[in-house]
Amino acid sequence: MQKIVMVLVILMSLSACQSTPSGTNHNNQSLAVIYTEIAEQLLVAGEIDAAKNQLDRVFKLNKNHAAAYRVLANIYQATQDDAYKQQARTLYKKAIALNETDMQNYMDYGLYLVQLGEYDEALQQFAKPSKEIGYAARLMAIENMAFIEYKKLQTLATAEQLNRAKTALYRAVQAGSQNPALLAAYQSVSNVGLLD
């Protein structure tokens, strides 16, 4: 509730800012960033319709704001409606195309693909942020890749998949993972065969 009150205060403040004609391009970009952040907070609070309304405001200001497309994809994903699944995929791809340096685009798209069971494509999405030194969620991307390889091992118990799972789990442990489930998975495969 406190977050919603804070969002409303910010919105009222922004309404005053929006009417200034000078520096319109810069103001529009700043407002697009703020409205997108508000939409993310509203989504976290479960206010899907209010979040979507904020993004509608963003797109009126800047039709190429990549983060807004990612958040809109997250909204569509949150609805759990099959009709929105393909739209979410398209929006994640658009967000990445508009801003290939925003690692959160890859992370969110990867998580979406995991929910759909599209593990190979999810691995490709997590690969980029997993290599981005300095990215705050880099370890999470590495852990996601390890969990996917381990899950694939459970359904495809081949020597090649065992090696892929062991390598991914080892990388996560070496990167500093303290996730108990991941550490248990690493322990369970560490004594099976040898890495090539």
Q: Hey, what domains does the chain have and what are their CATH numbers?
A: 29-100 (1.25.40.10), 119-191 (no CATH)
pLDDT of 5 strictly over 60 = no
pTM of the predicted model, to two decimals?
0.82
Average pLDDT over residues 122-147: 97
pLDDT band with cut points at 50, 70 and 90 for residue 24: low
pLDDT of 101 strictly over 80 = yes
Task: Please count the CA atoms within 13 angstroms of the CA of 17 that sit on its side-chain side.
Answer: 18
Q: Give me the pLDDT at residue 80, please.
A: 83
* Residue with the two structure tokens 């999405």: 125
Instruction: List, for residues 35-64, the tens digit of each pLDDT value.
Output: 999 999 999 999 999 999 999 999 999 999
pLDDT band with cut points at 50, 70 and 90 for residue 28: confident
Percent of the chain with pLDDT over 70: 85
Average pLDDT over residues 158-177: 95
Average pLDDT over residues 113-127: 96
Q: Give me the pLDDT at residue 178, please.
A: 95
Instruction: Provide the token pair at 91.
Output: 């929006």
pLDDT of 21 strictly over 90 = no
Q: Give me the pLDDT at residue 29, please.
A: 84
Residues 52 and 64: their CA atoms lie apart, in Å, by 16
Please state the separation of Cα 178 from the chain's center in Å: 21
Beta-carbon contacts of 147 under 8 Å, excluding residues fewer than 6 positions away, are 181, 182, 185
Q: Give me the pLDDT at residue 18, please.
A: 47
pLDDT of 120 strictly over 70 = yes
Q: DSSP string covering 178-193, please?
A: --HHHHHHHHHHHTSS
pLDDT of 9 strictly over 80 = no
pLDDT of 11 strictly over 60 = no
Higher pLDDT, 165 or 14: 165
Instruction: List, for residues 68-89, the tens digit of each pLDDT value.
Output: 999 999 999 998 888 888 899 9
